[in-house]
Structure 1
């Protein structure tokens, strides 16, 4: 524990009190209701978008299904072979080059189609027209299960002529331009929805999906009576998964009371200034850079590296978020891993063990705040839903690889949850891709008039088993 008063004065804004967290919960719930309201949705930052996904796999689905997963610099193509509860999966990861991310929309979707062709050729399925679930992990307004218009790019993407367009239509056009294979796009979903569906395949109490990785977003199962924008039927099940797009929480300034000078710097230097403020405090795309900014200030104050600023730390994004996970995995009091990263990875040869200890402390503060803020959103949703038992399906590198995030989230939720409610945090392996294929399977079965709603999952108004 670092006790230097000057260090604590600089880092104190990263430590949130219970009073501040309760205020965050109140604000988050208010933003949820604003997004759900017909009259208030247009002005809402947390958009609360109905996904049109209302059913989970029944366990009777069989067949092969394709899934695409685009949500960052890596793009995955998956082939899922379903036999009821049995799932066989093969996949391949393709890189999305920077010039494609910021180029034209046509070039981006042509790249996706090229990757699909290469995967399908390798799998020997080019001659098959398979149902496809497309995980497109950016803020979209669903026009139906198989149609979604991009609201805005996030995560470093800015490809032209895509915002405001139907991404399923753009994908179909790219496939048609090739003319050497075809697919049947039956669902466009967000990665959070895919994560929830993936967990729901095996866990009937899965009602929340969370992505805590490059970006941050959540979804949950909401009663249709609370969704004033709902324009579908009101038959059973009277519930629908809501894609919250909660990374934009605070864009209207309501979180400014906990945002620090470091958060403001991150926002000012980003390509989407003023947007995704909550995501910029919680997601892996920004945590390493937050640490770097704190280290700069500590060095300038003469509290780190003897006041001698390493040239490497002047470079944006040089302190990778993966370093936080690696450093905090070190249980050794001599902070050897932190020291090794400073000297071997960053080339700061004059870093002392005291420097390494302080760097480790900063990493702990930044990652703990991210985990706590993620937990605050989860517990607010749970208290709103009032389900006796909720499983939160979670995917993403920050949750998966950081050694303390799960524990911090669990402890935080326990502090603020309604004492009558229970919960479980569950890692969703391959959730976003596998979930998209499962949604495609359900959609294909619904199209064929076959049962799709699992009898294992109760409707929102039914009692939930503890």
Structure 2
């Protein structure tokens, strides 16, 4: 058993069924506000229209480029859709010099355009006119399939002069300034939409795209008539519209305060965007390690953990990586091979078994709350669509690498869903890249 002080510290993370049901209720209300035209401006879950109305059929053909920009590196892909439900993919990753994350707009887009040019020349594509799908994983308000206005930078980016601008135009201009290749950006989408599209290419029942990685967000298929911020919502011949929820901001208006802890409030204060992305800060990989670190430090101050030991490392903000939660929780009960490694990396000798039990208990509390809140979000979307069978395409490091996350999500969703609703959670391979190419292919063909 963990120490009583540890049990007391993690109490706030152990959400019961009643609290989870309340999260679903509150999220449902917030989403309705985001979808409705008159309440959208003050809604925290924005439910942005993606302008993607066609799900893939598997019969898509042709060559498309995709650019996937979501964090500290980006990928360029050449996707050849074969018309028989298969696709061939060549890709290359490029690492950003970190100075670009806070440099000028021209530097950022010129660097991306140069990398695109290099990729095309390496693959002998410089004379082909190719459509490009641009996955841009930052909150964007779309005014069309290829018009995306940046609402706010997240994930450590802060490039002045881009917020409020159409990022497609900025990149297209950079490509044309260089004049090396003939590329037209036909679609912009975020990584959740790419994940949904890529999964739906193989699985016709996929209706939700979810990311649980550095950040978290989801998109889902809504009836077009409910997407009031789409100017043709009443007259569109197409029944469906993918909605990019931007659910990371859920709770920015205080409605999630009943599930937040004192540790969440400390983490929020030291982030570049205090008071923003409340839901995301309770769930995603960028923050889970820091929450664990704060609890451990408090337990050390009370003489409950690592008694008589000191470590400079644990005192440093953000030093406890979220990957450590996966390590600690992958040890079988009573074994500590990975836990010992984590404890040593944090600068402790760690000979005391009680410390290892306490650390595991803290990690489990933080990651199970993440999975519970994520399950609440998915259940909200499934209830909203009112369907009895659904596939959820998922990507992101937390879902991929945490040893228990898939099982926890499944378990908590079953507790909350109406009886008889069937769901399948599946990891999306080449998620946002292949998805961007599929959106580009459909956009280019419908032109």
Query: 3-state SS of the aligned residue for 1:415?
Result: helix
Kindly indicate whether the alpha-carbon contact (under 8 Å) linking 2:196 and 2:435 is maintained by their aligned counterparts in 1: yes
List structure 1 segments (4+ residues) > 4 angstroms apart after TM superposition.
Answer: none
Write the distance in 2 (CA, Å) between the matches of 1:416 and 1:390.
Answer: 15
Kindly indicate whether the alpha-carbon contact (under 8 Å) linking 1:339 and 1:353 is maintained by their aligned counterparts in 2: no
Aligned residue in 1 for 2:357? 357
Write the distance in 2 (CA, Å) between the matches of 1:404 and 1:350.
Answer: 24
Aligned residue in 1 for 2:9? 10
Write the distance in 2 (CA, Å) between the matches of 1:220 and 1:206.
Answer: 9
Unaligned 5+ runs, structure 1: 448-466
1:276 maps onto 2:277 in alignment: yes
Write the distance in 2 (CA, Å) between the matches of 1:317 and 1:208.
Answer: 31
Query: 3-state SS of the aligned residue for 1:135?
Result: strand
Aligned residue in 1 for 2:340? 339
Aligned residue in 1 for 2:241? 240
Aligned residue in 2 for 1:433? 433
Write the distance in 2 (CA, Å) between the matches of 1:307 and 1:365.
Answer: 25
Write the distance in 2 (CA, Å) between the matches of 1:356 and 1:117.
Answer: 51
Aligned residue in 2 for 1:443? 443
Deviations 1:282-336 (A, max 9, x none): 1111111111111111111111100544210111111111111122111151222
Kindly indicate whether the alpha-carbon contact (under 8 Å) linking 2:387 and 2:421 is maintained by their aligned counterparts in 1: yes
1:188 maps onto 2:188 in alignment: yes
Distance 1:347 1:309, change over 3 A: closer
Aligned residue in 2 for 1:76? 75
Kindly indicate whether the alpha-carbon contact (under 8 Å) linking 1:35 and 1:44 is maintained by their aligned counterparts in 2: yes
Kindly indicate whether the alpha-carbon contact (under 8 Å) linking 1:335 and 1:360 is maintained by their aligned counterparts in 2: no
Write the distance in 2 (CA, Å) between the matches of 1:59 and 1:258.
Answer: 42
Write the distance in 2 (CA, Å) between the matches of 1:28 and 1:65.
Answer: 37
Kindly indicate whether the alpha-carbon contact (under 8 Å) linking 2:249 and 2:278 is maintained by their aligned counterparts in 1: yes
Give the TM-score, by structure 2 length. Answer: 0.97
Aligned residue in 2 for 1:222? 222
Aligned residue in 2 for 1:257? 258
Aligned residue in 2 for 1:49? 48
Give the TM-score, by structure 1 length. Answer: 0.93
Distance 1:238 1:307, change over 3 A: farther
Distance 1:431 1:410, change over 3 A: same
Kindly indicate whether the alpha-carbon contact (under 8 Å) linking 2:393 and 2:425 is maintained by their aligned counterparts in 1: yes
Query: 3-state SS of the aligned residue for 2:259?
Result: coil
Unaligned 5+ runs, structure 2: none
Kindly indicate whether the alpha-carbon contact (under 8 Å) linking 2:391 and 2:423 is maintained by their aligned counterparts in 1: yes
Deviations 1:362-414 (A, max 9, x none): 11111111111111100111111111211111011100111111101001110
Q: CA RMSD in A?
A: 1.3
Question: Map of 1:56-455 to 2, 5 A cutoff?
Answer: 56-84=55-83, 85-232=85-232, 234-306=235-307, 308-343=309-344, 345-447=345-447
Write the distance in 1 (CA, Å) between the matches of 2:334 and 2:415.
Answer: 29
Kindly indicate whether the alpha-carbon contact (under 8 Å) linking 1:69 and 1:136 is maintained by their aligned counterparts in 2: yes
1:37 maps onto 2:36 in alignment: yes
